[in-house]
Homo-oligomer: A and B are copies of this chain.
Amino acid sequence: MQALTINLGARSYPILVGPGLLETAWAEQARVLGGRVCVITNAVVAPLYLERLRAALAQVGADATALVLPDGESFKNGATLDAIYDHLLGERCDRSTPVVALGGGVIGDLAGFAAATYQRGVPFIQVPTTLLAQVDSSVGGKTGINHPRGKNMIGAFWQPRLVVADTETLNTLPERELSAGLAEVVKYGLIRDLPFLEWLEANMDQLMARDAAALSFAIERSCANKAEVVAADELETAREGGRALLNLGHTFGHAIETGMGYGNWLHGEAVAAGTMMACELSRRLGWLSAADLERVRALLLRARLPVRGPALGADIYLDLMGHDKKVVAGRLRLVLLRRLGEAVTWAEATPAEIRAAIVASCD
Protein backbone atom coordinates (compact mmCIF):
# COMPACT_ATOMS: atom_id res chain seq x y z
CA MET A 1 0.00 0.00 0.00
CA GLN A 2 1.17 3.51 -0.83
CA ALA A 3 0.10 6.54 1.19
CA LEU A 4 0.20 10.10 -0.04
CA THR A 5 -0.68 13.10 2.11
CA ILE A 6 -2.59 16.05 0.73
CA ASN A 7 -1.20 19.04 2.62
CA LEU A 8 -3.92 21.55 3.41
CA GLY A 9 -3.05 22.60 6.95
CA ALA A 10 -5.83 21.63 9.33
CA ARG A 11 -7.65 19.98 6.43
CA SER A 12 -4.78 17.65 5.40
CA TYR A 13 -5.74 14.06 4.65
CA PRO A 14 -4.21 10.79 3.46
CA ILE A 15 -4.82 9.00 0.15
CA LEU A 16 -4.18 5.27 0.37
CA VAL A 17 -3.49 3.48 -2.96
CA GLY A 18 -3.14 -0.26 -3.48
CA PRO A 19 -4.82 -3.62 -4.05
CA GLY A 20 -7.37 -4.99 -1.59
CA LEU A 21 -7.71 -1.80 0.46
CA LEU A 22 -11.51 -2.06 0.45
CA GLU A 23 -11.02 -4.83 3.03
CA THR A 24 -7.79 -3.85 4.72
CA ALA A 25 -7.67 -0.06 4.99
CA TRP A 26 -9.98 0.46 7.90
CA ALA A 27 -8.33 -0.99 10.98
CA GLU A 28 -5.91 1.87 11.42
CA GLN A 29 -8.46 4.41 10.23
CA ALA A 30 -11.19 3.47 12.70
CA ARG A 31 -10.68 6.75 14.55
CA VAL A 32 -12.01 8.75 11.58
CA LEU A 33 -15.06 6.53 11.22
CA GLY A 34 -16.88 7.02 14.48
CA GLY A 35 -19.30 4.29 15.44
CA ARG A 36 -21.56 4.75 12.45
CA VAL A 37 -21.15 5.81 8.83
CA CYS A 38 -23.51 6.49 5.96
CA VAL A 39 -22.42 4.92 2.66
CA ILE A 40 -23.66 6.55 -0.56
CA THR A 41 -23.25 4.31 -3.61
CA ASN A 42 -25.05 3.34 -6.81
CA ALA A 43 -26.86 0.37 -8.33
CA VAL A 44 -23.82 -0.73 -10.37
CA VAL A 45 -21.23 -0.53 -7.60
CA ALA A 46 -23.39 -1.76 -4.71
CA PRO A 47 -23.70 -5.41 -5.89
CA LEU A 48 -19.93 -5.54 -6.47
CA TYR A 49 -18.53 -3.87 -3.37
CA LEU A 50 -21.09 -2.71 -0.80
CA GLU A 51 -21.21 -5.92 1.25
CA ARG A 52 -17.40 -6.19 1.23
CA LEU A 53 -17.13 -2.64 2.50
CA ARG A 54 -19.84 -3.18 5.09
CA ALA A 55 -18.14 -6.35 6.36
CA ALA A 56 -14.79 -4.55 6.59
CA LEU A 57 -16.37 -1.69 8.52
CA ALA A 58 -18.11 -4.14 10.85
CA GLN A 59 -14.69 -5.65 11.65
CA VAL A 60 -13.64 -2.33 13.18
CA GLY A 61 -16.98 -1.83 14.90
CA ALA A 62 -18.51 0.66 12.52
CA ASP A 63 -22.20 0.24 11.72
CA ALA A 64 -23.08 1.30 8.17
CA THR A 65 -26.34 2.60 6.75
CA ALA A 66 -26.36 2.73 2.94
CA LEU A 67 -28.25 4.56 0.21
CA VAL A 68 -28.09 3.01 -3.26
CA LEU A 69 -28.72 5.61 -5.99
CA PRO A 70 -29.38 5.01 -9.67
CA ASP A 71 -26.21 5.08 -11.78
CA GLY A 72 -25.23 7.88 -14.13
CA GLU A 73 -24.33 11.54 -14.58
CA SER A 74 -27.98 12.31 -15.34
CA PHE A 75 -28.74 11.71 -11.64
CA LYS A 76 -26.15 14.24 -10.44
CA ASN A 77 -28.88 16.77 -9.74
CA GLY A 78 -30.90 18.45 -7.06
CA ALA A 79 -33.51 15.69 -6.86
CA THR A 80 -30.87 13.06 -6.05
CA LEU A 81 -29.26 15.41 -3.55
CA ASP A 82 -32.65 15.72 -1.84
CA ALA A 83 -32.88 11.93 -1.68
CA ILE A 84 -29.53 11.88 0.14
CA TYR A 85 -30.70 14.55 2.60
CA ASP A 86 -33.88 12.55 3.21
CA HIS A 87 -31.83 9.45 3.92
CA LEU A 88 -29.47 11.25 6.30
CA LEU A 89 -32.38 12.77 8.19
CA GLY A 90 -34.39 9.55 8.18
CA GLU A 91 -31.40 7.68 9.64
CA ARG A 92 -30.90 10.52 12.15
CA CYS A 93 -27.31 10.98 11.04
CA ASP A 94 -25.75 13.78 13.07
CA ARG A 95 -22.79 16.12 12.67
CA SER A 96 -20.33 13.40 13.64
CA THR A 97 -21.58 10.75 11.18
CA PRO A 98 -19.13 10.38 8.25
CA VAL A 99 -20.57 10.19 4.74
CA VAL A 100 -18.68 7.59 2.68
CA ALA A 101 -18.76 7.84 -1.13
CA LEU A 102 -18.41 4.37 -2.69
CA GLY A 103 -18.32 4.75 -6.46
CA GLY A 104 -17.10 6.97 -9.26
CA GLY A 105 -16.95 10.71 -9.71
CA VAL A 106 -20.71 11.22 -9.78
CA ILE A 107 -21.14 9.48 -6.43
CA GLY A 108 -18.17 11.38 -5.03
CA ASP A 109 -19.50 14.75 -6.18
CA LEU A 110 -23.03 14.07 -4.90
CA ALA A 111 -22.02 12.52 -1.57
CA GLY A 112 -19.34 15.16 -1.07
CA PHE A 113 -21.78 18.02 -1.67
CA ALA A 114 -24.28 16.40 0.67
CA ALA A 115 -21.51 16.08 3.29
CA ALA A 116 -20.55 19.73 2.74
CA THR A 117 -24.10 20.98 3.26
CA TYR A 118 -25.85 18.53 5.60
CA GLN A 119 -26.05 20.33 8.94
CA ARG A 120 -23.48 22.78 7.49
CA GLY A 121 -20.91 20.04 7.02
CA VAL A 122 -20.12 16.51 8.21
CA PRO A 123 -16.98 14.32 7.79
CA PHE A 124 -16.46 12.88 4.31
CA ILE A 125 -14.58 9.73 3.20
CA GLN A 126 -13.99 8.81 -0.43
CA VAL A 127 -13.72 5.24 -1.71
CA PRO A 128 -13.36 5.85 -5.46
CA THR A 129 -13.98 2.79 -7.63
CA THR A 130 -13.22 4.25 -11.07
CA LEU A 131 -9.88 5.32 -12.48
CA LEU A 132 -11.24 8.82 -13.12
CA ALA A 133 -12.36 9.24 -9.53
CA GLN A 134 -9.10 7.81 -8.20
CA VAL A 135 -6.86 10.17 -10.19
CA ASP A 136 -9.05 13.25 -10.28
CA SER A 137 -11.93 13.77 -7.89
CA SER A 138 -10.19 12.11 -4.93
CA VAL A 139 -7.85 15.11 -4.71
CA GLY A 140 -9.02 18.68 -4.50
CA GLY A 141 -12.23 18.82 -2.53
CA LYS A 142 -14.50 19.83 -5.37
CA THR A 143 -18.06 18.64 -4.85
CA GLY A 144 -21.30 19.55 -6.55
CA ILE A 145 -24.22 18.86 -8.81
CA ASN A 146 -25.26 19.82 -12.30
CA HIS A 147 -27.93 22.36 -13.23
CA PRO A 148 -30.01 22.12 -16.41
CA ARG A 149 -28.08 25.18 -17.64
CA GLY A 150 -24.59 23.97 -16.84
CA LYS A 151 -22.36 21.31 -15.38
CA ASN A 152 -21.14 21.60 -11.77
CA MET A 153 -22.82 25.00 -11.44
CA ILE A 154 -23.84 24.27 -7.84
CA GLY A 155 -21.25 23.01 -5.38
CA ALA A 156 -18.76 23.57 -2.61
CA PHE A 157 -15.16 22.91 -1.68
CA TRP A 158 -15.19 20.18 0.95
CA GLN A 159 -12.09 18.14 1.75
CA PRO A 160 -12.37 14.44 2.62
CA ARG A 161 -10.82 13.13 5.83
CA LEU A 162 -9.52 10.06 4.01
CA VAL A 163 -9.38 8.62 0.46
CA VAL A 164 -9.08 4.86 -0.12
CA ALA A 165 -8.21 3.93 -3.73
CA ASP A 166 -8.38 0.15 -4.09
CA THR A 167 -6.80 -0.71 -7.45
CA GLU A 168 -8.60 -4.07 -7.53
CA THR A 169 -11.90 -2.26 -8.07
CA LEU A 170 -10.61 -1.29 -11.53
CA ASN A 171 -10.85 -4.93 -12.65
CA THR A 172 -14.63 -4.57 -12.96
CA LEU A 173 -14.49 -1.20 -14.73
CA PRO A 174 -15.91 -1.09 -18.28
CA GLU A 175 -13.19 -0.37 -20.85
CA ARG A 176 -14.84 2.87 -21.90
CA GLU A 177 -14.52 4.17 -18.34
CA LEU A 178 -10.93 3.01 -18.07
CA SER A 179 -10.20 5.10 -21.17
CA ALA A 180 -12.07 8.08 -19.75
CA GLY A 181 -9.90 7.95 -16.64
CA LEU A 182 -6.76 7.87 -18.74
CA ALA A 183 -7.75 11.21 -20.32
CA GLU A 184 -7.13 12.85 -16.93
CA VAL A 185 -3.95 10.83 -16.39
CA VAL A 186 -2.56 12.09 -19.72
CA LYS A 187 -3.56 15.61 -18.69
CA TYR A 188 -1.13 15.62 -15.75
CA GLY A 189 1.71 14.79 -18.12
CA LEU A 190 0.65 17.52 -20.52
CA ILE A 191 0.25 20.34 -18.02
CA ARG A 192 3.27 19.86 -15.72
CA ASP A 193 5.11 16.53 -15.93
CA LEU A 194 6.87 15.79 -19.21
CA PRO A 195 8.72 12.73 -17.78
CA PHE A 196 5.31 11.27 -16.81
CA LEU A 197 4.02 11.99 -20.33
CA GLU A 198 6.99 10.05 -21.70
CA TRP A 199 6.32 7.22 -19.23
CA LEU A 200 2.72 7.12 -20.45
CA GLU A 201 3.89 6.88 -24.06
CA ALA A 202 6.02 3.90 -23.04
CA ASN A 203 3.33 2.24 -20.88
CA MET A 204 -0.06 3.02 -22.41
CA ASP A 205 -0.54 -0.54 -23.62
CA GLN A 206 0.15 -1.94 -20.13
CA LEU A 207 -2.37 0.52 -18.67
CA MET A 208 -5.02 -0.52 -21.20
CA ALA A 209 -4.28 -4.15 -20.26
CA ARG A 210 -4.87 -3.18 -16.58
CA ASP A 211 -1.40 -4.15 -15.48
CA ALA A 212 -1.61 -3.67 -11.71
CA ALA A 213 1.83 -2.15 -11.22
CA ALA A 214 1.40 0.26 -14.11
CA LEU A 215 -2.01 1.37 -12.83
CA SER A 216 -0.71 1.90 -9.29
CA PHE A 217 2.17 4.01 -10.58
CA ALA A 218 -0.12 6.10 -12.78
CA ILE A 219 -2.64 6.70 -9.97
CA GLU A 220 0.01 7.73 -7.48
CA ARG A 221 1.81 9.99 -9.92
CA SER A 222 -1.46 11.61 -10.96
CA CYS A 223 -2.56 12.21 -7.37
CA ALA A 224 0.86 13.56 -6.45
CA ASN A 225 0.74 16.00 -9.35
CA LYS A 226 -2.75 17.13 -8.50
CA ALA A 227 -1.89 17.37 -4.80
CA GLU A 228 0.98 19.76 -5.50
CA VAL A 229 -1.28 22.01 -7.53
CA VAL A 230 -4.16 21.91 -5.04
CA ALA A 231 -1.97 22.51 -1.97
CA ALA A 232 -0.77 25.75 -3.55
CA ASP A 233 -4.25 26.97 -4.52
CA GLU A 234 -6.91 25.20 -2.47
CA LEU A 235 -9.87 27.39 -3.37
CA GLU A 236 -8.89 28.11 -6.97
CA THR A 237 -8.24 31.77 -6.19
CA ALA A 238 -4.92 32.16 -8.04
CA ARG A 239 -5.40 34.71 -10.80
CA GLU A 240 -2.86 33.12 -13.13
CA GLY A 241 -2.01 29.43 -13.35
CA GLY A 242 -2.61 27.59 -10.08
CA ARG A 243 -5.46 25.19 -9.84
CA ALA A 244 -7.07 26.43 -13.02
CA LEU A 245 -4.34 24.58 -14.97
CA LEU A 246 -6.05 21.31 -14.02
CA ASN A 247 -8.86 22.38 -16.34
CA LEU A 248 -6.94 21.70 -19.56
CA GLY A 249 -9.57 20.63 -22.07
CA HIS A 250 -12.38 21.10 -19.55
CA THR A 251 -13.94 24.34 -20.82
CA PHE A 252 -14.29 22.84 -24.29
CA GLY A 253 -15.18 19.50 -22.71
CA HIS A 254 -17.98 20.92 -20.58
CA ALA A 255 -19.51 22.42 -23.72
CA ILE A 256 -19.44 18.96 -25.31
CA GLU A 257 -21.03 17.32 -22.26
CA THR A 258 -23.75 19.96 -22.01
CA GLY A 259 -24.36 20.20 -25.74
CA MET A 260 -24.70 16.45 -26.14
CA GLY A 261 -26.84 16.06 -23.01
CA TYR A 262 -25.34 14.89 -19.74
CA GLY A 263 -24.23 11.28 -19.76
CA ASN A 264 -23.93 10.71 -23.50
CA TRP A 265 -20.26 11.58 -23.56
CA LEU A 266 -18.29 10.48 -20.52
CA HIS A 267 -16.47 13.33 -18.78
CA GLY A 268 -13.06 11.92 -19.70
CA GLU A 269 -14.10 11.48 -23.33
CA ALA A 270 -15.20 15.11 -23.50
CA VAL A 271 -11.95 16.17 -21.82
CA ALA A 272 -9.95 14.20 -24.41
CA ALA A 273 -11.66 15.93 -27.32
CA GLY A 274 -11.46 19.25 -25.45
CA THR A 275 -7.76 18.71 -24.85
CA MET A 276 -7.26 18.38 -28.60
CA MET A 277 -9.08 21.72 -29.08
CA ALA A 278 -6.84 23.38 -26.50
CA CYS A 279 -3.78 21.87 -28.21
CA GLU A 280 -5.03 23.05 -31.60
CA LEU A 281 -5.44 26.60 -30.26
CA SER A 282 -1.98 26.35 -28.67
CA ARG A 283 -0.58 25.35 -32.08
CA ARG A 284 -2.30 28.32 -33.72
CA LEU A 285 -0.68 30.61 -31.15
CA GLY A 286 2.70 29.20 -32.15
CA TRP A 287 3.30 27.35 -28.89
CA LEU A 288 2.93 23.72 -29.99
CA SER A 289 4.29 22.24 -33.21
CA ALA A 290 2.27 20.07 -35.58
CA ALA A 291 4.43 17.19 -34.32
CA ASP A 292 3.51 17.94 -30.69
CA LEU A 293 -0.17 17.91 -31.65
CA GLU A 294 0.25 14.58 -33.40
CA ARG A 295 2.04 13.14 -30.37
CA VAL A 296 -0.91 14.03 -28.09
CA ARG A 297 -3.40 12.70 -30.60
CA ALA A 298 -1.54 9.39 -30.93
CA LEU A 299 -1.39 8.90 -27.16
CA LEU A 300 -5.11 9.61 -26.69
CA LEU A 301 -5.96 7.26 -29.58
CA ARG A 302 -3.94 4.48 -27.91
CA ALA A 303 -6.15 5.04 -24.86
CA ARG A 304 -9.11 4.60 -27.23
CA LEU A 305 -10.33 8.13 -26.58
CA PRO A 306 -12.11 10.50 -29.00
CA VAL A 307 -9.78 13.12 -30.46
CA ARG A 308 -12.40 15.23 -32.27
CA GLY A 309 -15.47 16.99 -30.85
CA PRO A 310 -19.05 16.35 -31.95
CA ALA A 311 -20.55 18.54 -34.70
CA LEU A 312 -22.48 20.94 -32.46
CA GLY A 313 -21.48 23.96 -34.53
CA ALA A 314 -19.05 26.62 -33.30
CA ASP A 315 -21.82 29.00 -32.15
CA ILE A 316 -23.20 26.45 -29.73
CA TYR A 317 -19.73 25.66 -28.41
CA LEU A 318 -19.04 29.35 -27.79
CA ASP A 319 -22.43 29.94 -26.20
CA LEU A 320 -22.03 26.98 -23.85
CA MET A 321 -18.46 27.99 -23.01
CA GLY A 322 -19.77 31.44 -22.02
CA HIS A 323 -21.67 29.79 -19.19
CA ASP A 324 -18.59 28.02 -17.91
CA LYS A 325 -17.14 28.97 -14.50
CA LYS A 326 -13.86 29.86 -16.20
CA VAL A 327 -15.43 33.13 -17.35
CA VAL A 328 -14.01 35.83 -15.05
CA ALA A 329 -15.60 39.29 -15.33
CA GLY A 330 -16.76 38.53 -18.88
CA ARG A 331 -13.45 37.23 -20.27
CA LEU A 332 -13.06 33.62 -21.37
CA ARG A 333 -9.96 32.26 -19.64
CA LEU A 334 -8.66 29.06 -21.20
CA VAL A 335 -5.91 26.64 -20.24
CA LEU A 336 -3.45 26.20 -23.09
CA LEU A 337 -0.01 24.62 -23.50
CA ARG A 338 3.13 26.74 -23.89
CA ARG A 339 4.86 23.46 -24.65
CA LEU A 340 4.27 19.79 -23.78
CA GLY A 341 4.54 19.59 -19.99
CA GLU A 342 3.80 23.29 -19.35
CA ALA A 343 0.31 24.80 -19.19
CA VAL A 344 -0.75 28.45 -18.84
CA THR A 345 -4.05 30.24 -18.27
CA TRP A 346 -4.76 32.53 -21.19
CA ALA A 347 -7.51 35.14 -21.46
CA GLU A 348 -6.19 36.87 -24.59
CA ALA A 349 -7.53 34.47 -27.23
CA THR A 350 -10.03 36.24 -29.50
CA PRO A 351 -13.43 34.68 -30.20
CA ALA A 352 -12.24 34.22 -33.80
CA GLU A 353 -9.17 32.27 -32.68
CA ILE A 354 -11.23 30.09 -30.36
CA ARG A 355 -13.80 29.52 -33.09
CA ALA A 356 -11.12 28.48 -35.59
CA ALA A 357 -9.65 25.96 -33.15
CA ILE A 358 -13.11 24.49 -32.52
CA VAL A 359 -13.91 24.22 -36.23
CA ALA A 360 -10.57 22.52 -36.93
CA SER A 361 -11.14 20.00 -34.11
CA CYS A 362 -14.76 18.95 -34.68
CA ASP A 363 -16.47 16.40 -36.84
Contacts and interface: CB of A to CB of B under 8 A. Distances in A.
Given A89-B150, A329-B35, A120 B94 contact: no
Interface size class of A (residues with CB under 8 A): 35 or more
A149 B329 CA distance: 39
A4 interface: no
Contact of A144 (B120, B152, B323, B329): B120
A157 interface: yes
Given A94-B325, A329-B96, A155 B34 contact: no
A117 B156 contact: yes
Interface string A68-96: 00000000001000100110011010111
From A35, A82, A85, A154, name the one whose CB has the most chain B CB atoms within 10 angstroms. Answer: A154
B95 A153 contact: no
Nearest to A94: B327
Nearest to A120: B155
Nearest to A158: B156
B153 A116 contact: no
A119 interface: yes
Contacts of A90: 149
A95 B328 contact: yes
A329 B63 CA distance: 13
A78 B89 contact: no
Contact of A85 (B34, B142, B154, B329): B154
A351 interface: no
B147 A85 contact: yes
Interface in A92-151: 92, 94-96, 113, 116-121, 142, 144, 147, 149-150
A11 to B, nearest CB: 11
Contacts of A323: 89, 92
B119 A89 contact: no
Contacts of A156: 116-117, 120-121, 156
Contact of A325 (B95, B149, B154, B327): B95
Contacts of A329: 34-35, 94, 96
A80 to B, nearest CB: 12
B325 A153 contact: no
Contacts of A153: 85, 89, 118-119
Nearest to A89: B149
Nearest to A96: B329
A310 interface: no
A234 to B, nearest CB: 11
Contacts of A330: 94
Nearest to A329: B96
Interface of A: 34-35, 78, 82, 85-86, 89-90, 92, 94-96, 113, 116-121, 142, 144, 147, 149-150, 152-157, 235-236, 322-323, 325, 327-330
13 contacts: A35-B329, A92-B327, A95-B325, A96-B329, A117-B117, A117-B155, A118-B154, A119-B325, A120-B155, A120-B156, A120-B325, A121-B156, A121-B157
Given A89-B153, A117-B155, 13 more contacts: A34-B329, A85-B154, A89-B147, A92-B322, A94-B327, A95-B327, A95-B328, A96-B329, A116-B156, A117-B117, A117-B154, A117-B156, A119-B154
